[in-house]
Amino acid sequence: MSDPRLTREIARRRTFAIISHPDAGKTTLTEKLLLYSGVLQTAGLVKNRKGKLATSDWMGMEQARGISITSSAMQFQYRDHVINVLDTPGHEDFSEDTFRTLTAADSAIMVLDAGKGVEAQTRKLFEVCRLRGIPILTFVNKLDLNGRDPLDLMTEVEEALGIQASAINWPIGSGRDFRGVVDRRTNELQLFEKTAAGGSRRSELERIPMDSPLADERLGAELAANVRDELELLDVAGNELDMDRFLAGEVTPTFFGSALTNFGLEPFFDAFVELAPSPSGRLVDSDDGTEVELGAEEPFSAFIFKIQANMDRRHRDCVSFMRICSGSYTPDMQVNHGRLGKKVRLARPQSIVAKERHTIDEAFAGDIVGLVGKDLYQIGDTISLNGGFKHKPLPLFQPEIFARIAPKVISDRKRFDKGMKNLIAEGAVQQVWPETGPKDAMIGAVGALQFESLQYRLEDEYGVETRLTPLPYECSAWINANEDTFKAPINSLQARDSRGRLVILFKSELDKRLAAHQNPNHQLLNIA
């Protein structure tokens, strides 16, 4: 018999990731969601000239560079819903962290720059969402700046991403003339007033029926007529929003606005909690090797999708972020730890907003919860009340650059080893051990900024200056099976990853293609 309260609480949850190309306004949008939910009284923008810093960017390097380089998870209430938002790095060098985080999301918000449209990193992240079947809502940002025609932007979304765009609202003007939006579902004109605090406080919103004389008075007869013509064109030629197709990832509800000035934000947030799905069933691998669906209301289960060291610098702690997939958490419950094969106690789980933490007494499917403690969890771990299955493994992506790293001062070795252990555990970089030659571990990364971040954090968080020695490899691949029969090119290097799997390092893409040609019975895997 189902528990009515459990059903009700799960239905209130909205767990989503925000994806975009760098500088499209993703982190600013996250800040404004906190503002409109009441968590913040004023929003601290990443690039605010008065020095305020984004709440979701808690790491020193993020604050110094004005970019998001690690995922952050935050929970708060908006209207009558519990929001779990996953703010992901926009920079492609940290895409692996983003990919892992997307496994914890039920939906995604795709943020586009109105002046640039669909950019390279947006395409990559969209494809990951498509592979996972995640429904996507689109927010076209920066209407306060001169940008491209809204119809052109929607056409580009459809042609570049292969998904139909359905305009839920429509912008009135752009750049300095951006006044607000029209809600197409209610035919309501929504006009906004700029705030004196430059968007750090909520904007005043005036709602007017679009077919009323007051709309002509507020907009002027000519602009009002142009807006009505555009809306009529959308009614005839635009895509309708079909909820089944949205949930299937075939159509994206599209909204226009400005995260900087708050124009269009409140209606977008209201529509999001209405449209985005609540947590549902997930496919898991049972111990007998079969694939089964785990319903959201079944007994408690969760998986670890992210580990972050030193969020509390005073205690040098380590936070493991778990996504609850089914059931509910109750204080001090004992659960099965799938990888370790033993019972563990979930003591004092925490809700986290950047550096702020609050111990929770309960949590439900869809919630993102932080577990404080070292060495107990690894990325991908399954924990559950009854056991008997594992959540799908989280992917690793092929490193494209490699190096060796060592402390500049020998006496710092102990702190260096501790820092590397913690940062490797959270997936900051990958580590491999050569099969031949020097046995010292090598590190691999998807992009160079990962190495820069690693060195920054070793010095900032552990007090260790390091020396990085680049290695002459620019791509890699795992071997699917039959390792003994694989013939590696002369210029390649065979190594083992942290899970003991064979990984081949190549000096060029040409060498990698040659290896694939010479080994037709093997698959060279870019994702493992």
**Whole-Å CA distances, 72 to 154, 218, 305, 395, 419:** 29, 41, 12, 19, 20
Q: What confidence score (pLDDT) does residue 88 get?
A: 72
The CA distance from 368 to 371, in Å, is: 10
- Mean per-residue pLDDT for 278-293? 94
> What percent of the chain shows pLDDT beyond 90?
62
Could you read off the pLDDT of 90-134 as tens digits, one per residue?
A: 556 666 777 788 899 999 999 999 999 999 888 888 888 888 889
Query: Is pLDDT at 354 greater than 90 in this prediction?
Result: no
Q: What confidence score (pLDDT) does residue 356 get?
A: 74
Residue 421 vs residue 374, higher pLDDT: 421
Q: Which residues contact 241 (CB under 8 A, 6 or more apart)?
A: 166, 168, 251, 253
The CA distance from 365 to 15, in Å, is: 10
Q: What confidence score (pLDDT) does residue 447 get?
A: 84
The whole-angstrom distance between residue 164's C-alpha and the CA centroid of its chain comes to 22
Six-digit token string for 347:
């003591």
| List of long-range contacts for 61-65, beta carbons under 8 Å, 24+ apart | 61/453, 61/456, 61/457, 61/460
The CA distance from 249 to 131, in Å, is: 10
Q: What confidence score (pLDDT) does residue 282 get?
A: 93
Residue 46 vs residue 456, higher pLDDT: 456
Residue 384 vs residue 65, higher pLDDT: 384
323: left (phi over 0), alpha (psi -120 to 50) or beta: beta
Could you read off the pLDDT of 164-206 as tens digits, one per residue?
A: 999 999 999 989 899 999 999 999 999 998 876 667 788 889 9
The whole-angstrom distance between residue 485's C-alpha and the CA centroid of its chain comes to 39
Reduce the DSSP state of residue 247 to 3 states and report it: helix
Residue 110 vs residue 373, higher pLDDT: 110
**Whole-Å CA distances, 68 to 64, 126, 144, 355:** 10, 18, 23, 15
**Whole-Å CA distances, 511 to 112, 135, 474, 476, 514:** 37, 38, 10, 10, 5
Reduce the DSSP state of residue 395 to 3 states and report it: coil
Q: What confidence score (pLDDT) does residue 93 get?
A: 62
User: What would the 3-class secondary structure string for 212-223 be?
Assistant: CHHHHHHHCHHH
The CA distance from 297 to 328, in Å, is: 8
Q: What confidence score (pLDDT) does residue 68 get?
A: 47
In the numeric block, the tokens 């010095």 are attached to 459
The CA distance from 14 to 11, in Å, is: 8
Residue ranges of domains in the chain, CATH in brackets: 4-275 (3.40.50.300), 282-391 (2.40.30.10), 401-525 (3.30.70.3280)
User: What would the 3-class secondary structure string for 508-526 be?
Assistant: CHHHHHHHHHHCCCCCEEC
Within 13 Å, how many C-alpha atoms sit on residue 239's CB side?
Answer: 20
340 pLDDT band, cuts 50/70/90, is very high
